Amino acid sequence: MPAGLKIETPKRTAYDVVIIGGAMLGSATAWFLADNPDFNGTVLVVERDPTYEFAATSLTNSCIRQQFSTDLNVRISQFGAAFVQNLPRHMGADAPKLRIQNFGYMYLAGTAAFADSLRAAQAVQVAAGAATRLMTPAQIKAEYPFYNVDDLVLGSINTRDEGYFDGITLFDWFRRQARSRGIEYVANEVVALTPNATGARVDSVTLASGEVVACGQVVNASGTRGAVTAQMAGITIPIEPRKRFTWVFTAEQPLDRDLPLTIDPSGVHFRQDGKSSYMAGGHADDDHAVDVTDFAMDHAIWQDHIWPTIATRIPQFEAIRVQREWVGHYDFNLLDQNAIVGPHPEVGNFLFLNGFSGHGLQQSPAMGRGTAEWLTYGAFRSLDLTPLGFARIAEGRPYREEAII
C-alpha cells in the first residue's frame, strides 16, 4: 500500500462477496450488485490505494467506441454508451446527465490488408446496429481536409455513440452510490488467498493489516496486479502491465472542426480534447512488461515518434506545444488483448475481471452488470460474456479482437 495511507479494517469477519480492487471495474460490479433487488448479500471492496492516483481509471483517455471486430465487443460498448448517457434513469434524478462527444474514431488503413480488415469489421458493426461508414481517401479529404491522405487506402468512422465521455464522473457515481447502498469499502490490501482442502474454492482472504476474512465469492478486479492476485489462488493468467503514454497539446493553427480520434497506420492516435486542445497517445516500439510502479516518462518517444507522425498526418500540426503529459498502464492480455471475465472452472468461487488491454473504462457498465449477474444467479443473463471466460486461456485459444489500439 502507498506509504502513509491509513489502513482501514472490515466491520465483519465474513462476506458473501469480496471484490479485490475498487477502481472502475470493481466499483461497477459493486454498484450493479447493490442495484439488483435479487441480491441481498454482504459485499466488501478492498482497495489498496483509495486515492486512485496511479489507477488505470484515473489515467485513462476516457473514450468509447463501437468499432470492434467482434459482435460481442460491439454490444458491450453499445450498452456502455446507453448507460453513460442515461445515468439519471439508472441512478436517480440527481445523477448527472453525461453525454458522449461524438467526434468518432477514424481508423486509417495504409495497406490493402488492413483495408480488408476494416471492411470485415464494418460489416460486423453494421449488423449489430452501429453507424460505421467506410471512406475512400477522397471522401476523407472532403470531410476532413486537414488530413494528408496520400498514403491511405481506406478509412472507417462512426460518429454515433463514439468519442469522449467523462469516465471519472461515471466512476465517482458507481463508487458513491455503491457505498450509500451498503457496500463496504476499506483501504487495505489482499496479501493472500486461502483455498479449502480440495482447492475447489477460496475460503478466505488475508489483508495486509492481518485480518482473515471469510468469503463466499471473490472477484479479481485488481487491474495491472491481476496476475499477482490470481497467483494467490494458484492460477496463472497471461496479464502484464504495459506503459501507455499520453500528451495534451495545443496547435499554433487549430483545426476548424473537431478532430476524430484518429488511429494512424503507425499506431499513434490523436483526438480533440478541448475547444482548442488535442490529445495524443502511443507506446514505445519496444512494448514490454514493466513494473506496476513504473510511471516514468520517456520524452524521446514524443520527439522521435509521436510528434513526427502527427505532423505528417496533419501538416497543420507542424507547430504544436505540449501542455501536459503522463504515463498510464494497460493490464495487457498477452493471448488476445480481450478481457477475462467470469469464474474459474476449478476454483469455482473465484471470478475474473482482468486483461482489458485499454478497454476497461468503456466496457465497465456491461462487465459490472455481467459479473453481478453471475454472482447473483450463477449465469450471465443480459449479455452472454462466456466467450471471454477463462476456458480459452486454459486452452490457449484466442478470442481474437483485431481492433486494438
pLDDT along the chain (405 residues), means of 10: 84 98 98 98 97 92 95 98 97 96 97 97 98 98 98 98 96 98 98 94 98 98 97 97 97 96 96 94 95 96 96 97 97 96 97 96 97 98 98 96 81
pLDDT score for 45 = 98
Tell me which residue of 219, 189, 183, 169 sits closest to 361, measured CA to CA.
169
Hey, is 184 helix, strand or coil?
Answer: strand
Where do the H-state alpha helices sit in 16-111?
24-35, 56-59, 71-84, 87-91
Q: Which CATH class is domain 14-61+167-238+335-395?
A: alpha beta
pLDDT score for 4 = 72
State the architecture of 102-159+240-330 in CATH terms: 2-Layer Sandwich (3.30)
Residue entry with cell 474459474: 344
Main-chain phi, psi angles of 216, to 5 degrees:
-80, -45
d(C-alpha 373, C-alpha 385), whole Å: 11
Other beta carbons within 10 Å of 18: 26
Residue entry with cell 501542455: 323
Q: Where are the domains of the chain?
A: 14-61+167-238+335-395, 102-159+240-330
Where do the H-state alpha helices sit in 189-280?
226-232
**Kind of pairing between the strands at 43-47 and 340-343:** unpaired
pLDDT score for 403 = 80
Chain mean position to CA 57 = 8
Main-chain phi, psi angles of 351, to 5 degrees:
-110, 145
Angle, helices 24-35/167-180, rounded to nearest 10 degrees: 50
Whether the Cβ atoms of residue 273 and residue 279 lie closer than 8 Å to each other: yes
pLDDT score for 272 = 96
pLDDT score for 349 = 97
For 327, residues 6+ apart whose C-beta sits below 8 A from its C-beta are 59, 243, 244, 245, 246, 295, 296, 297
pLDDT score for 370 = 98
Hey, is 26 helix, strand or coil?
Answer: helix
d(C-alpha 33, C-alpha 181), whole Å: 10
Cell of 258: 473537431
